[in-house]
Every structure is written in C-alpha cells, then in structure tokens.
Amino acid sequence: MDLSLLPQALVSGVLASGLYALVSVGLALAIGVIGIVNFAHGEFFMVGAFLAYQLFVSFGFDPLLSLLIVAPALAVIGGVIYLSTIRFVLKAPELNQMLLTFGVGIILQNLALVIWGGDPRSIANVPYRSIGYQLGGVSVGMVPLGSFVISVALVAALYWTLARTPLGRAMRAVAQNRVGAGLVGLEVNRVYLVAFALSALLAGMGGVMIAVIQSPTPTVGLAFTLKAFAIVVLAGLGNVRGIVGASLLVAVAESIVATMVPGGDALRNAVFFAIIFLVLIWRSRKVA
Amino acid sequence: MKRIVIVLTAALLSLGLAQGVTIGVLAPLTGGAAGTGQALKAGVDLALAEINAAGGVLGQPLAIVLEDTKADAATGVAAFEKLMTEDGVEFIGGGYSSGVTLALVEPFRTFQPVVLWTGGAVSGIGIDGFDGIEELLGQEDWFFHVHPWDYQNTEASTAFQAYTGVQTVALLHEDSAFGGPGAVGAQALLEEAGMEVLLREAFKSTLSGGTGDFRAAISKAAATGAEMLYWIGYDSDVVPLTSQVRELGYRPQYIFGAPPGWPSEFDAAPEAQCVTGLIGFLPNMPNPEAKQFLDAYVAMHNSQPDNYFAAIGYAMLWAYADAINAAGSTDQAAVIAALEQGTFRSPMGEWGFGPSVQAKHQGFGAEMWNVFQFQNGVRELVWPVERATAPLISCN
Amino acid sequence: MNRLLRDLLVALALGGLLALLPAALRELFGRSAVSYLTLATNALLLGVLALSWDMLARTGQLSLAHAAFTGVGAYSAAVLLRFAEVPVWLGIPLGGVLAALLALVLGAATLRLYGIYFAIATLAFTEVLRTVVQKLPAHIAGGAPGINVPPLFRPTFVAGQMERWEVAFLRNQGYFWVYLGLLVLAVAISIALQRSRLRSAFTAIRTNEEVAGVMGVNPARTKLVAFAVSSFVAGLLGAVEAHRLGSVSPDGSFAVHTTVLALVTPIFGGLYTTVGPILGAGVLAALEETLKRTFSEGYLIGYGIVLVASILFMPRGLVGLLTGIGRRLTGRGSRGAGATTGTLDGTPLPSGDPPSASTEAKP
C-alpha cells in the first residue's frame, strides 16, 4: 500500500463531499418538510444541467452566471409540478407518491431526449474546470473546492432559514404536525409549495454543478439521485445539518478505499452503499 | 384478456403492405444508450434518402422499419421477432449492446435472415469460459459483422501507442463488459509490443452508475509517472476524466482514449487540447467520401456526425442496397454471395467483408481505426501516418 | 379452507385457459404470433415480478432489492450449470431457494428498519451485491462480461415440413408456458397467503406493528416469511430469464430498472391484492407496446403521463377503479377487494393522521 497517496485521498474525499451535500440538500427538504419521496428529483438535476448547457450554447453564459437563471427556473418548474400533481397526493400513501413522481421523472427524461437527444453534451469552456492548486504534493481542485464551499453555505443558509425565519418556522411546523399547523392558521399548502420549489431550486444548482463536471445526458440524474436518497436517509429524515456530516463520511471513505485499494476506483459505489447499509442496520439495532 | 386485445389491435393497425425491399433496423433509441442509437438512425436515414434518390433497390424504393431495443435484451428479442414476422423483412441491420446480441443468438439462428450487425463487439476471444459474439455467430453464413471486434480496437490502440515511442503506460478502464475484458487484452498486447504497463486500474463509468469522480484512479496513474495515459470508457466519461487529469497535475506525454464517441462541443474545450482518441470516422479524413458524407449529413440533420455509429449505420445500409442490386434479386444465397464479394461505399472509404479470427464475414477491422488529436479546437487525424492531416504533438 | 380451494381452482382454470393463448394466437395471426407471444411472455414476467414484490409489500416493507433476488436466481442457475451441470428442472428451483435464503439473511438484518429506511437499506444491499458478483473470480461468476446460459428450448427445424417461424413459435410457446406456470405458482402462493391467518398478520404489521404484537402476531417471523416467499418467486423468475436471454451479467442481472418495475406495476394495478399486480402488468405492458407502435419518437412521454394520471384519478390502482365501478353497477355498499387494503390502499387518510407515518423511523 502506497501511503504517499493518502493525503490526496483525504483531500479529494473531503472536497467530494461538497457535491454530495449539494445534490442531497434539496431532496432532504422535500422528504423532511413535505414528506414526499420524490423519485423525479434526479430529473431536476438533469433539467438544471441541460439548461446550463443550453445557456452556454445559446448565449455563452458561464455556468456560475447561469446559476442565477437556472435556479429560479427550476423553482418555477418545481412549483408548476407541485401545483399540477404533487399537491393532490400529499396525504396519499408514500407508494402513490413514488409512482406519481416516477411518472413525472419519465416525462422529463424523455422530453429531454426529444429536445437534446441522447448524445452526451458538454459545456465547452469552463475556465475554472481543470484548475488544481498544488499544495505540498496535494492537489486541491477549484471545482470541488467551490462546490464544497457553496454546499456548506447552502446547508447553513437552509438551516438558518428553517431555524430563524417565519417561513422556516412554518416549514418546521408543518413538518412536525401537518394538522396542527393547519389549525393555527398557517397556509399549509403555500408552505409546501414554497418548500417544493425550493427543493427544485436546490436540485437545479446541483444540476448546474453536474453540467460543469460531466456531460449532461437525459439519464445523468439517476446515479446522483440514488446517492442523494442514501445520504438523506443516513443523515436522518428532516435533519438538514446532518447532510454535511453524512456526505463527509461516505465521500471520505469512498475516496480512501478508491485510492488505497488496487482497482478501488471501481469500488466507489460498493463502499458508499456498504456504509449506508451498515450504518442503517447498526443504528436500528442500537435504538432497539 | 384486455391487454391481448389491445396488443392485437395495435398490431393489426401497424400491418402495412410493404412494397419493394424492406430492411429491418434495430437500435437503442431510448434509455442510456440512446445517443448511439440515434446516431445509427441518423446515418441510416441519410443512406436511405441517398439510395432512393439514386433509384432505390431493384427498381423500387428501399424501405426500412426501425425498432427501438432500449438496449434491453427482452425488448430487443420482441423487436427482432416483430420485424421477422409482422413486418416480414428478410434483412436485418443495426444493433448495439452485447447483452441484446447474446439474447438474439437463438432467435437469429431460428430465422436465419441476413444480418448486418453493427453491435456486440465482445468477441469472447481471450476470455476463458465465456463465448462472445464472434465465437457464437462468426461461422454462420448469414451473419455479417459491421464493426471491429474488441481485439481489433486493442490492436489499433497498441499500434498507435507503439508509434508514439512511449515506454510506459498507465491503463485506466471502466469496469463493465466493455472495459474489463478490453483492458486485459490491451495489457498483453502492449507488453508484447515492448511497452511497460505500470498500472491497470478500473473505474466506475458514468454510464454504469458512477458519479464521475475518477480522482483516485488518476492519482495512482500520476504516481506511476507513466508517459502514456490510456483509458477505456464511454463518451460521458470524457469531460470528468480529462479535466481531473489536469486538476490533479498529471502531465503524461499523451492522453489516449477509445470511447464510442466524444461529447458534442468538446472540441472547443481547453481540456481537449492534445487529447488523442481512437475513432472510426473523422470529418476531415482525406478520402473524398468523408467530405461527401459530412456535407450530406449536415445538410440533412443540421448537426455534425459526432458518434461514428452514424458512419457505420450509413455504410451498413448502402452495403445492403449495393449487394441486393448486384444480386439482382432478394434471393438469400445471391445476396450473401454479393455481400461476400462486393466492395461497398462508406465515409471511411471502400470496404468489404473478409475473415477475422473466428468469423467468416467481418466488415471493418483494425484498419478502420484512426487516431485523432484535438489541436486548437480541431480534430486532426494523426495516425496512421499515411492518412495524417497533422503531426502528433506531445502534451508536454 | 373451502374458499381457498375455490380460489385456487379458479386460478388454475384461468391459467389453463391462458395456456391455450399460443394456439389461439397462431390460429388468428399465423407467423405474427411469434412476436405477440414474446410480448405476452414479457407481460407475464412483469406480472410475476410485481406479484412477488406485492407479497412483501403487504407487510409494509417497501423493498428496493428485487433486482438482487432476480439477480441471485439468475446467477445461481448460471453458476450451477457451469460447475455441476445441474439439470434445469433442479437449477431453476435452486435459484429460487438461494434467493429466499439470501432474503432471510437480508430480512433478519433489516428487521428493525421501516419505510424509506428499509427501502434505502435494501437498495444499498443490491448495489453492494452487484459489485461483489462482478469482483468474484472470473472462473466462478464470469466477471464483468458474465456467463453464457443455454436456452431451455431449442426446437429443431425440419426442412420441408415446417417453416422457420414455427420453430420460433415453439420456443416462445415454451417460455410462455414456463412463465405462465410461474405466474400460477405465484398466484397460488399469493392466494394461500391471502386466505390464511398470515393475511391479517400482514395487514396488522403494515398498519401498526406494535398493535400487531399485542394481537399476538410475531412481526419478525411474519416479515421473514413474506420476505422469503417473495424472493423465492423472484429468484425463480431470474433463473428462467437467464435461460431465455442467454446470459447473465452484473449490469444486466442486477439492473435498478428491475426493482423499479417491481414497485411501479403493483401500485398501478392495485396494491395488496393478487389481481392488482397482474392486471397492472398486463395493462402497462400493452400500453407501452401500443405507444411504441403509435409514436415513433418520445413514446415514453405518454407512458409517464399515464402513470401520473393513474395516481391522480385512480389512487387505488386499477383494482380500486374496477371495484368502484362494480359497486356502482351492483348498487351495493360492499367495498369488495379494495376494502381489505385498509387505509394504506390509497384512500385519503382521515385528516388526523400524518400522511406518511411510515417514513419516520420507529424507535
């Protein structure tokens, strides 16, 4: 085992947790506040990624600039989807919610296939995409660093919103007691609408980041969604702060195994999901 | 019973009376492999328009029936059987994915239509205990393979790397059916050619569940200091791989990859500079057919043929048209003889069928492959030297 | 017991009737029967998969591990054949048994997980298992390319006496009957569960596990039974499918897509019933094929629209819709099959309940 790679593995792992947190935080909001298991969340990433791509192709916008357009656009798309479908299944069993959102996902995915085709696309010029700062034999990538900072800031902002603002209090209220909140006069439906739009907005930001680091395709969202679901569950439903810790745990473990084990980079998903599996089991036993 | 009624009604409605010759084409038009399937379709559509503009086949317009396989084995079998029975075609073209092809082995053998197959590059040669497509179908009279086998890709890749003069190679490969066996074969060939493989490391492709973080594999490659970074993966891996190589400060002399295609617009990316790749068709290849194909393709589809399956699909359909016209009838034996003897047009130049290690009818071999290099936003053909449009440059 | 026997006989009779479908298709459509049979077989497969998933779901356990069970069934058939040349009539059942054993292990480990926690744990398990299979030495499990699996049926072509399509017809008829047999078996198991004391145990656990315990139901044992039975069927299915498709591979045999279909189909058809998942499979399969044949591009958009609309307009699935129509026609107040599914069948809960209690981890 070559220990000289360990520092790089640690740094890469810590930074990679940023992207994981970024793609998970919106989903945490949807599950935690609205109680909706959104199978179409990955398609929000996909749409965000394609919009960032399209803005680059049509207007030459840098993805960071596109963020300012894509995020609100996704909020609108999320809002429309909420009003046209989601709000009718709020009280339905979660299986019904899953089928509904799965259908929404299929629609979005195949719309993208018709509009953009199946070939991988790429944002040709992202000036900061390949920049890495070499510090004492360790490379710190600008994109991973940026997404790490952005996602920590987002999680902090979301946490603060939930804890300190009237909107956040309303969200927590409906999350904890849907009926009670209704009784005290909060407009539950409006809170849900805002929460779902916010969830889509956050997914859109994740999508822009995905467009920076890889190629938008109609199916680009799936791998991230599976991992985001796992991270949200690992953090504990409704625990927004826990997202950062959960992301850090799995990302660092993934990176260390990937780097230190021969052939390890192909084991990333196995390590990721093994940790999720073991933690869930261990936690369920501990509680009992 | 309701579902049966629905299926049957739909089937009856879709029964059209075919006039002239009809070719059944299978391609993944939806799902994860849709990009390649759509490229195949685009090439076939162009060839069809040209063939019919040139008088069609046997004096009648040629027709195609295109079926989506979703790159799913069960769907592929149903689609093939529909073509053979409901549509009554005698000629099959297209195809993609080894899983679909393996599922079609028995149905193919049952119907024994003429098959011009563009998919299933897994030959099986060199994999103990696993029968690949070449081993299973190669000896069938009616089976024609219109795509190089995996070992032919490796042969060309090795020849190019030997040409560069590098001594050391770090080999990164995606870990599924495409890159796994490919990498084992590649290492053996590279070592045979006198190069030292310092690392052979798997990664999880973005096409098979990965999230595009290849930093661990690249760090290890960087630590070996190999002069050549050789990677086997998919087109959606291109952007993360090339950008992370740079981010991690790895500066091999050459970065060489063999994905099925390259992402649209990647040519202009700074990460593309000096990256080399194996490709079947390149718009600026010196042969006149390439230019013709490019112009016609752009005129019809308003986009560039980025995925070489467009060129392969085009070549496949023209081969059918020319062979049936040469045979003068749709008689199977005559068409097979015409396919065996003929030379056909393609964007890559003239081609025909010949034997490969296990197959009787192999169209396109190692000689189809070219290596291009992104140089200042242009894909310059750099190998084989006799076709080169620009000299190969080192990344350093 | 009487009703159980009656239901089983009805299922058997319907199965026997359906067994005549190949001959009927051939009579009606000639050679086109070949592809119709494959489509019908694909629908049967979906029905078996959906019913198998539903059996477990009746205990409230939302499994995302069905690809693991079909995958294990497929791989055990392939590996057994490779090393021991186990005859298929033994290899396929062994595939089911090994899947059931695996389910017992997974079930025991995840006993205390509920709702989405259970779902994600089972999904994670599948992903790990896929990698393990892929990384096993290639001479055992074939590595990334997988293993070839011989067909179950290879009818011989006799030139001059038959046409080529008739060979394909015979093969497809064989697979159709095998899958029909699997479906009848799954239906029999499902009916037996529905007509036994396990049914109320399942429903009790799904509705409220603590109360179920008080009622004298052993939740752990009951859930394990459901898990084992469900994955036994899934394992059989995987083993047969390996033969039909000619190979197993890590990416093909453990595809997330299988898991998703296993879950979507029963919801669409009607949860916690025997008829619902099968009905859902038939309608979804026919719908997709019809859309595919009608629209050259973007046909899956229509498929998605139907799924969304189905939840909005028939929250209790096809079964709920049909029983509703049946009630209206007969004018009787009895709620029929849908009523047995309690509050989790899609009827909006009374506003006093949190909508998704099962998504929270229960202590």
In this prediction, residue A113 carries a pLDDT of: 95
Dist CA C79 CA B327 (whole Å): 46
Distances (CA, A) of B311 to B294, B354, C3: 9, 19, 64
Q: What mean pLDDT value characterizes chain A?
A: 92
For residue range B35-73, what is the model confidence (pLDDT) as tens digits? 999 999 999 999 999 999 999 999 999 999 999 999 999
CB contact under 8 A, C271 and A233: no
Confidence band (pLDDT; 50, 70, 90) for A180?
A: low
Interval A90-113 mean pLDDT: 94
Whether the CB of A223 is below 8 Å from some CB of chain B: the reply is yes
Return per-residue pLDDT of chain C as tens, 363 residues: 588 999 999 999 999 999 999 999 999 999 999 999 999 999 999 999 999 999 999 999 999 999 999 999 999 999 999 998 889 899 999 999 999 999 999 999 999 999 899 999 999 999 999 999 999 999 999 999 999 999 999 999 999 999 999 999 999 999 999 999 999 999 999 999 999 889 999 999 998 888 888 888 899 999 999 999 999 999 999 999 999 999 999 999 999 999 999 999 999 999 999 999 999 999 999 999 999 999 978 999 999 999 999 999 999 999 999 999 999 888 765 444 433 333 333 333 333 333 333 333 333
What superfamily in CATH does domain B2-148+289-368 come from? Response regulator (3.40.50.2300)
Rg (CA), chain B: 21
In this prediction, residue B180 carries a pLDDT of: 86
In this prediction, residue A181 carries a pLDDT of: 62
CB contact under 8 A, C251 and B208: yes
Chain B, residues 55-94, CB within 8 A of chain C, namely 66, 68, 72-75, 77-78, 81-82, 84-86, 88
Q: C98 CB contacts (<8 Å, ≥6 apart)?
A: C72, C73, C76, C235
Torsion sign (Cα): B134, B137, B138, B142: negative
CB contact under 8 A, C245 and B209: no
- β-pairing, B22-27 vs B63-68, is parallel
Chain B, residues 314-353, CB within 8 A of chain C, namely none
Whether the CB of C283 is below 8 Å from some CB of chain A: the reply is no
Whether domain B152-281+369-387 has CATH 3.20.10.10 = no
In this prediction, residue B19 carries a pLDDT of: 62
In this prediction, residue C228 carries a pLDDT of: 97
Q: A166 CB contacts (<8 Å, ≥6 apart)?
A: none
- Does residue C342 fall inside a structural domain? no
In this prediction, residue A287 carries a pLDDT of: 66
In this prediction, residue B264 carries a pLDDT of: 81
Instruction: For residue A107, give the chain C residue with the closest CA.
Output: C301
For residue range B129-146, what is the model confidence (pLDDT) as tens digits? 899 999 999 999 999 999
What is the pTM (predicted TM-score) of this model? Answer: 0.93
In this prediction, residue C363 carries a pLDDT of: 30
For residue range B328-341, what is the model confidence (pLDDT) as tens digits? 999 999 999 999 99
Q: Are B199 and B164 in contact (CB under 8 A)?
A: no
In this prediction, residue C270 carries a pLDDT of: 95
For residue C224, the enclosing domain spans: 2-256
CB contact under 8 A, C263 and A95: yes
Whether the CB of A265 is below 8 Å from some CB of chain B: the reply is yes
Residue A183 scores a pLDDT above 70: no
A-chain residues within 8 Å CB-CB of C355? Answer: 35, 90-92, 178
Q: Shortest CA distance to B323 belongs to which of B312, B311, B309, B337?
A: B337
Interval A48-64 mean pLDDT: 97
Does the fold of domain B152-281+369-387 match that of domain B2-148+289-368? yes
Interval A122-148 mean pLDDT: 94
Residue B149 scores a pLDDT above 50: yes
pLDDT: which is higher, C331 or A97: A97
Q: Are B196 and B167 in contact (CB under 8 A)?
A: yes
- Does residue C20 fall inside a structural domain? yes
Interval A101-122 mean pLDDT: 95
ipTM: 0.94
Residues in chain B: 396
For residue range B290-346, what is the model confidence (pLDDT) as tens digits? 999 999 999 999 998 888 999 999 999 999 999 999 999 999 999 999 999 999 999
Q: What mean pLDDT value characterizes chain B?
A: 92
For residue range C217-275, what is the model confidence (pLDDT) as tens digits? 899 999 999 999 999 999 999 999 999 999 999 999 999 999 999 999 999 999 999 99
Dist CA C60 CA C83 (whole Å): 39
Residue A201 scores a pLDDT above 70: yes
C-chain residues within 8 Å CB-CB of A237? Answer: 116, 359-361
What's the gap in Å between the CA of B127 and the closest CA on chain C?
Answer: 9
Q: Which helix or strand (DSSP H or E) is residue B149 part of?
A: none
In this prediction, residue B14 carries a pLDDT of: 47
Confidence band (pLDDT; 50, 70, 90) for A174?
A: confident
Domain residue ranges in chain B:
2-148+289-368, 152-281+369-387
In this prediction, residue B177 carries a pLDDT of: 85
CB contact under 8 A, C29 and B131: no
